[in-house]
Amino acid sequence: MSTESSYYVPEQSKLPIITAAGMGLIAYGAANWVLGGSNTIFLAGILVMAGVMYKWWSTVIDENMRGMANHQLKHSYVLGMLWFIFSEVMFFAAFFGALFYVRVIVNSWLGGEAAFGMFDNTPTDAAVANNTMLWPGYETQWPVMVTPDQAANGAAAQFVGPEQAMSFPGWDRLLQWLPLWNTLILLTSSFTVHVAHTGLKNNDRKKFITWLAITVFLGFAFLALQVEEYVEAYQHMGLTLDSGIYGTTFFMLTGFHGAHVTLGTIMLLIGLLRAIKGHFTHDDQFGFEAASWYWHFVDVVWVGLFIFVYVLD
């Protein structure tokens, strides 16, 4: 038991090294899966991480409920969560940067245009030579429906573009556009988790649990629609991981975001189960508060995805 004048030091644990091993399995397994191998190693890593999170979170929750977490330790939790979210911001910044690079710079050069249209719209000699010698026939476009390989090699091309893009389908089909519904769902869930937080701060447990349950439901609804979107992309639109740079960036950005929504939904679900058991008070609520911060973060990322991946052509 710690006091306010001392810092609680947890017992030695093997969980950090097991976590590192699990993340290594996930990284190696994901690469092997993308390259056409089995997904067994990837799933094994997922199971290891699920077990670690269950054990680690259970330990932290138990220590807090027994009063072993003093003010200094709780402050370290806050700082840890802030740094974690900052690292996630940098993670998605790298992928948005990759999208910008291939869309604005590389795509222009492959099509024989000057990147950015710098100073004027006159193609540079290097860009023209690149287009005529390496990728003849390719024209700059986004989404890339005809890949440079396809334009240059025709039926012998290894990388073939999709038959249809996920971009804005037109006003007549707006209500059938799944990304729009997912946007409305996530924006609504950001509001509902805020209402739940307000209820907790005001010691209104019924309001807290009700609105938190609604948020969890919306999280699962988002994931269900994203699965439906992927099924539609693969089966009806020819949009896959192999369909050129558009398919790669689309699934890279939306897939990683979906993974983060899954994690956020699990965090909120655990918070809901704890709330039903009587955990959290208006002055001891960081377990829920951290999950709500993370949820707002994934909502903001989705707004960026909706604009740059779906809306802007």
Q: Please give the residue that has the higher pLDDT: either 183 or 76.
A: 183
Q: pLDDT confidence of 160, banded at 50, 70, 90? A: confident
> What pTM did the predictor assign?
0.85
Mean pLDDT of 240-267: 91
Least confident of 61-70, 127-136, 181-190: 127-136
Percentage with pLDDT > 90 across the chain:
46
Mean pLDDT of 40-59: 91
Is residue 151 within 8 A of residue 257, CB to CB? The reply is no
Q: Which domains does the chain have, with CATH numbers?
A: 1-69 (1.10.287.70), 74-107+166-311 (1.20.120.80), 111-156 (no CATH)
Is residue 177 within 8 A of residue 170, CB to CB? The reply is no
Mean pLDDT of 155-166: 85
pLDDT at residue 3 is higher than 50 = no
CA dist 271 → 103, 186, 190, 265 (Å): 40, 18, 16, 10
Q: Please give the residue that has the higher pLDDT: either 97 or 12.
A: 97
Q: Is the dihedral of CA 86, 92, 94, 100 positive or negative?
A: negative
Mean pLDDT of 129-153: 81
Q: Which of 254, 249, 243 is nearest to 100 (CA)?
A: 249
pLDDT at residue 27 is higher than 70 = yes
Read off the pLDDT of residues 267-299 as tens digits, 9 standing for 90 and up. Answer: 999 999 989 988 888 877 888 899 999 999 999
Least confident of 76-85, 124-133, 196-205, 243-252: 124-133
